[in-house]
Structure 1
Amino acid sequence: MSENGGKPSIRRLKTRPRDRNWAMTRMGLSAGAHFAAHSVGNFFRSGSDRDERNRQFYQQQAQFLAEQLGELKGSVMKAGQMLSLYGQYFLPPEAVDVLSGLQDDTTPVDWSFLQPVIEDQLSAARRAELEIDERPIAAASLGQAHRARRKSDGLELVIKIQYPGVADAIDSDVKTIVRLLWLSKMVPRELSLDPVIAEVRDMLRREVDYEHEARATQAFAAKLADDPRFVVPRILPEYSGRSVLTMTYEQGVALRSEQVRNLPQTQRAELGRSFIWLFLREFFDWKMVQTDAHFGNYRVRLSEGQAPQLVLLDFGATRHFSSAFVAGYREVVAGAVERDQQRLVAGAESIGLMSSGFPADTLKAFAELCYTIVEPFMIGTDHPPPAALVGDLGYRYGQTDLPRRVTQLMSRAALSRYFRIPPREIVFLHRRMAGAFIAQTVLDVEWDARELVLDALGAAADEAT
Structure 2
Amino acid sequence: MAAREDGRQKLSIVALKTKPLERSIALTRLGVGAGAKIMAHSLANIFRGEISRDSANREFYERQAQILADELGKLKGSVMKAGQMLSLYGQYFLPEEAVVVLSQLQDDTPPVAWNVVAPVLERSLGRSRLRELDIDTEAMAAASLGQVHRARRKKDGRELCVKIQYPGVADAIESDIRTLSRLLIMTRLTPKGLDLQPVFNEVREMLYREVDYEAEAGFTRQFAARLAGDTRFVVPEVISEYSSPQILTTSYESNCSVRDARVQKLGQARRDRLGGAFLELFFNEFFRWGMVQSDPHFGNYRFRVGERAEDDRIVLLDFGATRIFGRGFIENYSDIVEGSLRRDREQVLRGAIAIGLMSEKMPRSALDAFAAMCEAIVEPFEAADDQAAGGTLRNKNGAYCWGDSDLPMRSGRIAATNALSVHFRVPPREIVFLHRRLAGVFIMLATLRSEVDGRAALLAALHDAHQEPASGVTL
The two structures have a TM-score, normalised by structure 2, of 0.95
* Worse overlay, 11-20 or 236-245: 11-20
SS at match of 1:134: coil
Q: Which residue of structure 2 lines up, in the alignment, with residue 54 of structure 1?
A: 57
1:148, 1:157 within 8 Å by CA — same for their partners in 2?
yes
Of the candidates 430, 441, 447, which is equivalent to residue 425 of structure 1? 430
Amino acid at match of 2:401: R
Of the candidates 339, 346, 367, which is equivalent to residue 342 of structure 1? 346
Q: Distance in 1 between matches of 2:15 and 2:251?
A: 30
Pair 1:136-2:139 in alignment: yes
Q: Which residue of structure 2 lines up, in the alignment, with residue 166 of structure 1?
A: 169
SS at match of 2:352: helix
Amino acid at match of 2:382: M
Q: Distance in 2 between matches of 1:431 and 1:453?
A: 18
Q: Distance in 1 between matches of 2:117 and 2:57?
A: 42
SS at match of 2:92: coil
Q: Which residue of structure 2 lines up, in the alignment, with residue 365 of structure 1?
A: 369
Of the candidates 264, 274, 279, which is equivalent to residue 277 of structure 2? 274
2:365, 2:419 within 8 Å by CA — same for their partners in 1?
no
Of the candidates 215, 219, 226, which is equivalent to residue 218 of structure 2? 215
1:397, 1:440 within 8 Å by CA — same for their partners in 2?
yes
Q: Distance in 1 between matches of 2:334 and 2:469?
A: 10
Pair 1:440-2:431 in alignment: no
Q: Which residue of structure 2 lines up, in the alignment, with residue 92 of structure 1?
A: 95
Amino acid at match of 1:193: L
Pair 1:289-2:292 in alignment: yes
SS at match of 2:441: helix
- Root-mean-square deviation (CA), in Å? 1.7
Divergent runs of 4+, >4 A = 2-5, 412-417
Task: List runs of 5+ in structure 2 lacking aligned partners.
Answer: 471-475
Pair 1:243-2:246 in alignment: yes
SS at match of 2:140: strand
Q: Which residue of structure 2 lines up, in the alignment, with residue 304 of structure 1?
A: 307
* Worse overlay, 341-350 or 416-425: 416-425
Q: Distance in 1 between matches of 2:469 and 2:228?
A: 26
User: What's the offset of the Cα at 1:385?
Assistant: 2.6
Q: Which residue of structure 1 lines up, in the alignment, with residue 473 of structure 2?
A: none
Q: Distance in 2 between matches of 1:16 and 1:346?
A: 48
Of the candidates 403, 408, 421, which is equivalent to residue 403 of structure 1? 408
Matched-pair identity in %: 53
Equivalences, count: 464
Q: Which residue of structure 1 lines up, in the alignment, with residue 83 of structure 2?
A: 80
User: What's the offset of the Cα at 1:418?
Assistant: 2.6
SS at match of 1:147: strand
SS at match of 1:376: helix
Q: Distance in 2 between matches of 1:3 and 1:425?
A: 34
1:135, 1:146 within 8 Å by CA — same for their partners in 2?
yes
Of the candidates 368, 374, 380, which is equivalent to residue 378 of structure 2? 374
Q: Distance in 2 between matches of 1:342 and 1:133?
A: 58
1:413, 1:419 within 8 Å by CA — same for their partners in 2?
no
Pair 1:180-2:183 in alignment: yes
SS at match of 1:136: coil
SS at match of 1:131: strand
2:415, 2:421 within 8 Å by CA — same for their partners in 1?
no
User: What's the offset of the Cα at 1:463?
Assistant: 3.1
Q: Distance in 2 between matches of 1:92 and 1:417?
A: 15
Q: How does 1:25-36 map to 2 (within 5 A)?
A: 25-36=28-39
User: What's the offset of the Cα at 1:408?
Assistant: 2.4
Q: Distance in 1 between matches of 2:122 and 2:426?
A: 44
Query: In 2 relative to 1, CA 247–206 (structure 1 residues): closer, same or farther, beyond 3 Å?
Result: same
Query: In 2 relative to 1, CA 3–101 (structure 1 residues): closer, same or farther, beyond 3 Å?
Result: farther
User: What's the offset of the Cα at 1:383?
Assistant: 6.2
Pair 1:120-2:123 in alignment: yes
User: What's the offset of the Cα at 1:331?
Assistant: 0.5
User: What's the offset of the Cα at 1:184?
Assistant: 1.7
1:146, 1:160 within 8 Å by CA — same for their partners in 2?
yes
Of the candidates 282, 294, 314, which is equivalent to residue 318 of structure 2? 314
2:380, 2:390 within 8 Å by CA — same for their partners in 1?
no
2:403, 2:445 within 8 Å by CA — same for their partners in 1?
yes
SS at match of 1:197: helix
SS at match of 1:126: helix
Q: Distance in 2 between matches of 1:257 and 1:334?
A: 36
* Worse overlay, 217-226 or 180-189: 180-189
Query: In 2 relative to 1, CA 222–416 (structure 1 residues): closer, same or farther, beyond 3 Å?
Result: closer
Q: Distance in 2 between matches of 1:381 and 1:203?
A: 43
Q: Distance in 2 between matches of 1:18 and 1:359?
A: 48
Query: C-alpha offsets along residues 313-343 of structure 1, whole Å, 9 cap, x if unaligned?
Result: 0000001011011111110111111110000
SS at match of 1:234: coil
Pair 1:457-2:462 in alignment: yes
